[in-house]
Structure 1
Amino acid sequence: MSGLGSQYWPEVIEVLRSIVPVYNKVNRVISLGKDEEYRHHAIKGRVMPENLVLDAGSGFGNMSRVALAEAGGNARIVMYDPLPEMLANTRTFFAGAYRPSLSSGIFEHMPFQDDTFDAVLCGYSLRDAIDLRKAIAEMHRVLVPGGRLIIVDLGKPDGAFKRWMVATYLKHFLGIFAYMAAGKPGLKFTTLYGTFLRWPKNSELEAMLAEKFSKVVFDKGMLDGAIMVAAYK
């Protein structure tokens, strides 16, 4: 089974719960400042005014914020995350009176009807699925025909040397940068290496998406260690 599995997933969730106060600060540092650039690259031209958008694994709402700007402030957004603690911080991310809808749950069992959303966003979250194929199937189910699944995440290079380079950074250097950014709580981010080991290679993920979606656009950065994907239903 692709995904974290029911045994490892609770450990990752507990780590995420413990790093809520420093999540954004550390994510910016360990992505070498590229996280926002990659969100914009993936979302640009794929969220339109009046779209209904699901931010799956939304965290504080980084993807939602970029999507709302792309839609000129005219989009309806549902933020969906397994951690209520993450959703509790959303108010600081949206200016003025705008308030997204909030819902809590897991990817594999979404409480939404078929053919509901124009776009589903996954920003650094799909990698934490319990069952990756089931999560992808659920995202496909809730999208309208022609809807877009937009993914920004770690990449797992197909080439052995690039894969070794990315793995070495995650295993040996990420913790140093995270500690510099946030002190001891930052060390919890070393769990990313475990999720990387369970994550499919880029070509495998692309093939998995192609099993459900009619078109997959797969862009890469940082030695293929970062991916920006759009899959069209």
Structure 2
Amino acid sequence: MPFIQKLNTSPTISFLLNGHGLGSTYWNEVIRILRNIIPVYDKVNSAISLGRDNQFRTEGIIKSVFPGNKVLDAGSGYGNMSKLVLENVSKDVTIHFYDPIPEMLKNISSNFKGYDFNYCLCSGVFEKIPFKSESFDAVICGYSIRDSIDLEQAFEEIHRVLKDDGRFLIVDLGKPDNFLLRALVTIYLKYFLVILAYLTAGRKGLPFRTLYGTYLRWPKNNVLKQLLSKRFSKVDFKKKLLGGAIIVVAYK
């Protein structure tokens, strides 16, 4: 099947935060740090999730992506979510890799050598997705939607670009509703995450401490479900690791 390649780069965009999300100032800082950890990003991310990141990704993917689908991999990074789509669902899909960091997208072609499927590259933010309404059968976000500038605006845009009966998959950190469980996850992310990142990637892994800041701005699990339920007709919300990890499929 032919490859479709397109790369649009977007300048830094400022938004007024109207709810949950990182806000423009902190978002710019997070993006700067992510650019600096590109070489060790996948390795450290796997260690932080105790080696279960792909397991959680796959569990969500088989529920939300089907052969023949047109898929938006939003916050795609190197394309780990999409690679699992090809390996566990079908190569008969069209994937649009979409990420705010063009340097991430430049690794897609080498990361997918030997995979025969249609794809497109595009750079931008969740809050301003440059595609027509009702364009996609599925939007998949693996450990990425947490880094949105304005979470509610991001949800609105994702809902817009989904076709009727489309699916929105979130695989990410969870913030438990229970105070004690939330405290355990918070301690892990604040202290042990940095140790794991350092053991995995040395000093290059230390910037991953920024992950704790994104977690602080991330809504609790029940609040996240409520935000999704405002726009989506059904929300299947699965909690893993005591609620510290989530697999969510929201249906338009």
TM range (shorter): over 0.9
TM-score (normalizing by structure 2): 0.91
Matched pairs, number: 233
* 1:119-173 per-position Cα deviation (integer Å, ceiling 9, x unaligned): 0000000000000000000000000000000000000000000000000000010
Q: How does 1:156-171 map to 2 (within 5 A)?
A: 156-171=175-190
Residue type of the partner of 2:248? V
| Root-mean-square deviation (Å) | 0.9
Q: Deviations over 1:99-121 (max 9, x none)?
A: 52100000000100000000000
CA distance in structure 1 between the partners assigned to 2:72 and 2:111 by the alignment: 16
SS in 2 for 1:48: coil
Give the Cα separation in 1 of the matches to 2:63 and 2:113: 22
Percent identity over the alignment is 55
Distance 2:21 2:225 in 1: 15
Q: Secondary structure at the match of 2:64?
A: coil
> Aligned partner of 1:92: which letter?
S
CA distance in 2, matches of 1:138, 1:111: 10
Correspondence list, 1:129-144, <5 A: 129-144=148-163
Is contact 2:68–2:94 with CA below 8 Å preserved after alignment? Answer: yes
Measure the CA separation in 2 of the matches of 1:93 and 1:209: 32
- Any gaps of 5 or more consecutive residues in structure 2? 1-18
**Any stretches of 5+ residues in structure 1 without a counterpart?**
none
Residue 44 (structure 2) pairs with residue 32 (structure 1)? no
Question: Does structure 1 retain, via aligned residues, the 8 Å contact 2:94–2:117?
Answer: no
1:44 matched to 2:59? The reply is no
Contact 2:93 2:118 in 1 (8 A): no
Kept in 1, the 8 Å contact 2:170–2:249? The answer is: yes
What residue identity is the alignment partner of 2:161?
A: V
Q: TM-score normalised to the size of structure 1?
A: 0.98
The answer to whether the Cα contact below 8 Å between 2:92 and 2:117 also exists between their aligned partners in 1 is no
